[in-house]
Amino acid sequence: MDAALPAAKFDLDPLASRALKNSARLWFAVAALGQWAFAIYVTIHYGGWATRGNLAAWNKTLPHGYEPGAALGNGVVAAHLLFAALITTAGTLQLMPRIRSRFPAFHRWVGRGYMVAALVMAVSGLYLVLSGRHLVGDLSQHLAIIVNAVLILLCAGMAWRLALRGDFAAHRAWALRLFLVVNGVWFFRIGLMLSFIVYGGPFGFDPDSFQGPFLTFLGIAQYALPLAVLQLYLVMQKRGDAAGRLATATLITLLTAATGLGIFGAVMGMWLPKVTRFLAG
C-alpha cells in the first residue's frame, strides 16, 4: 500500500509581498501623472498670467489671489504657487528608486531643495491664513490648512534630521510622510472632483460660499487619510502576515482607482479648461 503523500503547502508570503509592493508602485505611477498634470497647470495658468502682467486673472480661480497694493501678500501667494509647481515635480523624482540608486548626489541635492521648498510652502500657507488675507472657505478649512502646514514642518524636520544621522530607513518613512502632507492641496482637489463624478455635482457644501460639512471632512482627510494608509502599508511591509498584506494591497489598489478617477475629473473639469483658455487668449 502506497504511503500517504504529504499535502502540498502553498506559501502565500511571497505573493502577498509582491502584491503589496506592486500596489504601492501602481498608486505612485498614477499619482505621479496626476501631480505632473497639476504642476503643468500651475505653471501655465498662474505663471502664464504673471508673465503677461495680468495678476488679477489669478482671482478667477484663486479668490483674492491678487490684491492691488498688497505687495507682501501678493509676493507670498506668488512664492507659494511657484514652490507648489517645483515641489510637485521634485517630489515624484525623489521617490523613484532608480534615480536614488543611480544618481545619489542628484537625489541628495534635490532632497535638500525639496525640504526648503516644503518649508517655504508651509510658512507661506501659515502667513496667508494668519495674516487675515481673505481666503476661500470657513474656519474649519483654515484650521485644516494650519494643521497641514504644521505637519509639513514636522515631517520635513524629521526627514532632514534622520538623513543627517544616517538612519535612512527611518528617513524614508518620514520622507514619504512629507511627500503626502506637502500634497494636501492636491489630494483636496482630486477628492473634490471625485465627489463631483460620483454624485454628479456639488455634494455636502454650498458652491457659492465654498462651505459645508463635506469640505470640512475633506480638509482633514486630505492629509489624515493618506498618512493612515501609509502607516498601514509600512506596518504590513515590515511585520504583516500574508492575509494582512493582501488585504492592504487590495485597499491600495481600490484607492488607486479612486485616485485615477479624481485626477481625471480634475484634469478635465479644472486644469485643462483653464490651460486651454489661457493658451487661446
Residue 169 pLDDT exceeds 70: yes
Q: What is the Cα–Cα distance from 174 to 53, expressed in whole angstroms?
A: 40
Q: What is the Cα–Cα distance from 201 to 205, expressed in whole angstroms?
A: 10
Cα 143 to chain center, whole Å? 18
For the residues of 149-168, what is the DSSP string, one character each?
A: HHHHHHHHHHHHHHHHHT-H
pLDDT tens-digit profile of 105-138?
888 888 888 888 888 888 888 887 887 665 667 8
In order of 121, 149, 266, the CA distances from 197 in angstroms are 30, 29, 10
Could you tell me the pTM of the whole model? 0.87
Task: State residue 7's pLDDT score.
Answer: 47
Looking at the chain, the whole-number percentage of residues with pLDDT higher than 90 is: 49
Residue type, 125: G
Q: What is the Cα–Cα distance from 190 to 185, expressed in whole angstroms?
A: 9
For 90-106, the three-class secondary structure string (H helix, E strand, C coil) is HHHHHCCHHHHHHCHHH
**What secondary structure letter does DSSP report for 8?**
P
Residue 17 pLDDT exceeds 80: yes
Task: State residue 123's pLDDT score.
Answer: 87
Task: State residue 112's pLDDT score.
Answer: 87
> ∠270-223-259 over CA atoms, to 5°?
45
Q: What is the Cα–Cα distance from 144 to 194, expressed in whole angstroms?
A: 20
Crossing angle of helices 184-199 and 242-266, in 10° steps, is 80
In order of 78, 113, 115, 149, 220, the CA distances from 119 in angstroms are 15, 10, 6, 9, 20
Q: What is the Cα–Cα distance from 191 to 247, expressed in whole angstroms?
A: 23
Q: What is the Cα–Cα distance from 115 to 113, expressed in whole angstroms?
A: 5
Long-range CB contacts (within 8 A, 24+) of 129-132:
131/73
pLDDT tens-digit profile of 203-251?
888 888 888 999 999 999 999 999 999 999 999 999 889 999 999 999 9
* pLDDT, the chain, mean: 87
Q: What is the Cα–Cα distance from 176 to 95, expressed in whole angstroms?
A: 8
